[in-house]
Amino acid sequence: MVRSDHRYKPVIGMNVMERTMNRLSRPYANRRERRREETRQRLIQAALALMHEKPFDQVTVEEITERADVAKGTFFTYFPTKEHLLHAYIRDMTDEVYEFLESLQPEQAPSQWEVLRQVMLFIAERDARSVQITRSIMVACCQSSVLREQMLDIIKEATEYARAGFELGQRTGEFRTDVSANELAHQAIRLYRLSLMEWMMEREDEPLKPIVERVLEFYKPAFLAPRSTDSPTRADAPCLGTNVQATDQATEIEKETAL
């Protein structure tokens, strides 16, 4: 589950700006590179502050550069469009998640489900920082084909990580083997996305993490290997096939809502 080409060592408990500055303080990073990264982060943080106030499609490049206190031309030195800026922020957040995943040492973990749970709660903690920003990101992905494709690439990447974890769990007997690891990974990712959608649309006054926790706990038996005394379709556990249909129906509702 660990990326062999991951560029940064785990630095947990830091925000994106602190991690970036930690990285750029290394001996091979010169002063000019550090200044560039500081400016890049100022632009990202300025955009996020504006997204907290209004939807992303209403935020202009002029407003971002004014809030960041840089010239308008400076923006295009770092980002071709404001959508590229948003993708850069999402990519930074994704790298932070992978750093957290690496810190869990998943290949040596006794339970791959616990690794999945910890990672999803870590993501939920960050998504819950601002419901306005999270909503703006979702809407922007629906409105921009470029941003949507970039987000789909990130989701595919995350699914590959999950698939690797499920494959490992299947080899150790933790997860069921009558369903492919790839399908288990898709359903696990879908559970988080549905939890996120429910929080944004219906329960923004509640913390996101407990919602994710409850959903994972409910569907957990559908992923685990049956106990030796049980049949694969025991009555006390949700059936993955049924859950797949339910999540497919929920996804259709999600698509209609986005439209």
The answer as to whether 1 is a domain residue is no
Q: The tokens 């995943």 sit on which residue? A: 101
DSSP state of 175: B
| CA gap 97, 199 in Å, rounded | 20
CATH code for the domain of 75: 1.10.10.60
- Sequential pLDDT tens for the chain (259 residues): 444 343 323 333 344 445 445 554 554 458 888 889 899 999 999 999 999 888 898 999 999 999 999 999 999 999 999 999 999 999 999 999 999 999 999 999 999 999 999 999 999 999 998 898 998 999 899 888 888 898 899 999 999 999 999 999 999 999 999 999 999 999 999 999 999 999 999 888 899 999 999 999 999 999 999 986 554 444 444 555 545 554 555 555 454 444 4
- Determine, yes or no, domain membership for 181: yes
pLDDT tens digits for range 138-168: 989 988 888 889 889 999 999 999 999 999 9
* Residue at 209 is within a domain: yes
Q: Which of 224, 244, 248 is nearest to 234 (CA)?
A: 224
What residues contact residue 237 under an 8 Å CB cut-off, 6+ apart?
Answer: 221, 222, 224, 226
Final residue of a domain: which of 79, 103, 127?
79
SS3 155: helix
154 and 228 both lie in a single domain: yes
Question: What residue type is assigned to position 78 of the chain?
Answer: Y
CATH code of the domain covering residue 172? 1.10.357.10
In a domain, 2, yes or no: no
Query: Structure pTM?
Result: 0.75
pLDDT of 219 reads: 97
Q: Which residues contact 124 (CB under 8 A, 6 or more apart)?
A: 192, 195, 196, 208, 209, 211, 212
Q: Are 31 and 134 in a shared domain?
A: no
Domain that holds residue 34: 11-79
CA dist 107 and 89 (Å) reads: 28
Q: Are residues 169 and 68 in the same domain?
A: no
CA distance from start to end of the chain: 34
Residues 6+ apart with CB under 8 A from 179: 240
**One domain for residues 250 and 176:** yes
Q: Do 129 and 30 share a domain, yes or no?
A: no
Q: Which of 211, 216, 189, 213 is nearest to 200 (CA)?
A: 211
pLDDT tens profile 38-51: 999 999 999 999 99
Last residue of a domain, one of 42, 59, 79: 79
- The answer for residues whose C-beta is within 8 angstroms of residue 225's C-beta and 6 or more apart is 170, 173, 174, 175, 176, 177
